[in-house]
Amino acid sequence: MVPSAVAEAAMSSMADRAVANQTMVAKLWEKTRDQNSTPHKAATDIGGSLLGVVSFEGINWMVRYLGDKFPLIGDSVDYMQSLPHLIIGIVAYWGELLTRRKPTKDGPPSWPSMPREIASEWAKVFILLGAANLLRALRLRRKDSKLAADELLAIKAELSQARAQLAKLAK
């Protein structure tokens, strides 16, 4: 009788583990479906993007305001509207990625929470908008410096002609 009791206990224990594993797999499947659902993805993408654009414009407004008050900032307002965003975005993105919970080996995968996903989207928007502003600022500064150099050459030529005329009139 004892061997059958041991076998019965083993079967019961194995059945309990099978039910627990089946429940765990079902929960994991539901979480996977939720993380990849269209509403979830749309909410994180749109939420992060809108938050990124609004906060980006808020910081730009503040920089323009400070640029009106302080000439040091006003002279480089184009860079001040790009570099902080780029740096903050990169730091936030990598900070979020590096602090994510790591899945255990051979364990179930772990997904970031919705606020972390939104933070990641926000950081990507900040990086992209900051980089776009920086490239535009560099392009415009380069164009402005080329125009200033051309204008300087034209003014020097005009000054040279005026001096020659003045020397001619002085004789």
pLDDT per residue as tens, the chain (171 positions): 456 776 677 777 777 787 788 888 777 667 656 777 777 788 888 999 999 999 999 999 999 999 999 988 888 888 888 888 999 999 999 999 999 888 778 777 777 888 899 999 999 999 999 999 999 888 887 877 777 777 877 788 888 888 888 888 888
Q: Where in the sequence is the domain holding 64, given as residue range(s)?
A: 37-170
- Round to whole Å and give the CA distance between 57 and 114: 24
SS3 content of the chain, % helix, strand, coil (to 5): 85, 0, 15
In this structure, are 31 and 46 located in the same domain?
no
In this structure, are 121 and 79 located in the same domain?
yes
In this structure, are 21 and 52 located in the same domain?
no
Q: What is the pLDDT of residue 29?
A: 66
Q: What is the pLDDT of residue 131?
A: 92
In this structure, are 2 and 49 located in the same domain?
no
Residue 125 exposed, middle or buried by CB count within 10 Å (0-12, 13-18, 19+): buried
Q: What is the pLDDT of residue 168?
A: 85
In this structure, are 15 and 81 located in the same domain?
no
Q: 170: part of which helix (H) or strand (E)?
A: helix 114-170
**0.85 exceeded by pTM:** no
Count of domains forming the chain: 2
In this structure, are 90 and 157 located in the same domain?
yes
In this structure, are 56 and 10 located in the same domain?
no
In this structure, are 103 and 154 located in the same domain?
yes
In this structure, are 28 and 109 located in the same domain?
no
In this structure, are 18 and 75 located in the same domain?
no
- Round to whole Å and give the CA distance between 11 and 145: 83
